[in-house]
Chain A
Amino acid sequence: MTDLPTSFADREALADYLRQAFADFAEGDAPPATLPGGRRAAEPLLEAVDPPLYARTRNHLDGAVTRLSPYLRHGIVTLAEVRDRALATSGERAAKLVNELGWRDYYQRAHAKLGQRVWEDQEPSKTGLDAADYASDLPPEVERGETSLACIDAFARDLARTGYLHNHARMYVAAYVVHWRRVRWQAGAAWFLRHLLDGDPASNNLSWQWVASTFSHKPYIFNRANLERATDGRYCRDCPSARDCPFAGSYEELAARLFPELERVA
């Protein structure tokens, strides 16, 4: 049996080899700009973890999030290790980061219990809509980043190029796909898993279900004001759809538009 090569001149040579050897797995033609694999690459990220700053800024797209997820997902770094470092530097002020690490542990435990059922609705959706109201496939323009919504398109392209999205970008995209486009969450979850370096059916599928409301008590939606705050309005400034933004409005207005059946019941 022949071993695959383990020695390369540099990262580029390794990438070239893989592009040929695993050509069938190429996701598209965008040149990838991914985080490097390996423990050595994780070290500077571990060093940079600043738990109090994390707690203050993590909801902003430029906030001091750790970007450790691909390393945690693949067991290169462990939750326990990140927790211990955070406690050592910051004590009680590590609480927010430890809580977020807890989400990964929680989803892993849920996946251990559910097995393949992470692909099924955990509960009925709370949108007032039927399964038949949701399309089974992701519209191709969403995946290609060609919806004319500057924010969503930028997130879709970042996802394909880098294999990483900030937590809020993931929430925005998932809400857009499921609630604005009325696509089954499974289609969006499979799209994310193809690209995310940290892709994991536990955290991914259960987060999609949390957005969809099949694993939570109400659907997650956002509005333009919320997105502008988290992004300093950078996408809205030049957005071709800015005057006709589907995310503009109060939460009540958006909910009434997206979930008309709920209004009728209420």
Chain B
Amino acid sequence: MRAIVWLHEDGLRLDDCRELPALFVFDDALMRRLGYGLKRITFIYETLVELEVTIRRGDTASEVQRFAAEHGAETLRLRPTVCPERLAIIADLARHFAIDELPEPVFVTAPERLDLKRFSRYWRRVGAQAMLPTAKQG
């Protein structure tokens, strides 16, 4: 199945998928919701120029669909995100595409029921593990 990379600003890295067509979309409505200013746009734009990817402006989901159609792609590769707005867009795109989340290098693996009420509790569980190099993470 042919794939494209949909780059978004929670993971501006190509690494393992350099050979695929990649798109970034500047979505004015979304950027307004997220409160971005020109400084941030500039930082992201400079990063994209260096990555040599296609940059477009418009509604994210429509632009991703258009770009995928241009490349005859049925799979979207993308980096993980916790941004609720972006997760909603991904859920929407998942109706049209196979979503292939690119693996992140592991900082620590989370225990089953991780208590996040205070940093100290989290760190008691994972602090020792965090001092191991990525190659030794489970």
A83:B107 contact, CB within 8 angstroms: yes
Decide: B37 and A74 in contact? CB cutoff 8 A: no
What are the residues of chain B within 8 A of A133 when measuring CB–CB?
none
Mark B residues whose CB is within 8 Å of A.
9-13, 26, 28, 31, 34-58, 63, 66-67, 79, 82-84, 87, 104-108, 110, 114, 116, 118-119, 122-123, 126-127, 130-131, 133-134, 137
Instruction: Pick the interface stretch among A32-40, A148-156, A228-236, A246-254.
Output: A32-40
Whether the pair A24, B28 counts as a contact (CB closer than 8 A) is: yes
Q: Name A26's closest neighbour in chain B (CB-CB).
A: B38
* Chain A: minimal CB distance from B114 (Å): 7
A125 CB to nearest chain B CB (Å): 16
A129 contacts partner chain B, Cβ-Cβ < 8 Å: no
Question: Which residues does chain A contribute within 8 Å of B127, judged by CB atoms?
Answer: 99, 102
| Contacts A/B (CB < 8 Å), 23 sampled | A1-B67, A14-B46, A15-B42, A25-B38, A27-B39, A37-B48, A38-B51, A40-B50, A41-B46, A75-B10, A79-B107, A80-B105, A83-B133, A84-B133, A87-B131, A94-B131, A99-B130, A101-B130, A102-B108, A102-B119, A109-B116, A163-B43, A197-B39
Partner of B35, one of A3, A79, A102, A199: A199
Known: A80-B134, A194-B35, A199-B40. 11 other contacts (CB 8 A): A1-B56, A4-B55, A25-B41, A32-B39, A37-B43, A38-B51, A80-B107, A102-B119, A102-B123, A109-B114, A202-B82
Known: A101-B107, A105-B108. A34 touches B39 (CB 8 A): yes
- Cα separation A39 to B15 with both chains bound (whole Å): 11
Q: A3-B56, A15-B42 are in contact. Are A106 and B122 (CB under 8 A)?
A: yes
Q: Is A81 an interface position by the 8 A CB rule?
A: yes
- Contact A37:B46 (CB < 8 A) given known A25-B36, A76-B13: yes
Interface residue from B50, B63, B116 paired with A38 (Cβ < 8 Å): B50
Other-chain residue from A34, A76, A115 in contact with B12 (beta carbon distance below 8 A): A76
Interface string of A65-92 (1 = CB under 8 A from B): 0000010001110111101100110001
List residues of A whose CB falls within 8 A of some B CB.
Answer: 1-4, 6-8, 11, 14-15, 18-19, 22, 24-27, 32, 34-41, 70, 74-76, 78-81, 83-84, 87-88, 92, 94-95, 98-99, 101-103, 105-106, 108-113, 115-116, 163, 190, 193-195, 197, 199, 201-202, 216
Task: Tell me whether A197 and B40 are in contact in the complex, defined as CB-CB below 8 angstroms, given that A8-B49, A78-B104, A79-B107 are known contacts.
Answer: yes
Residues from chain B with Cβ under 8 Å of A94 in the complex = 131
Q: Which of B11, B50, B119 contacts A37 (CB 8 A)?
A: B50
Q: A95 to B131, alpha carbons, bound, how many Å?
A: 7
Taking the closest CB of chain B, its distance from the CB of A115, in whole angstroms, is 4
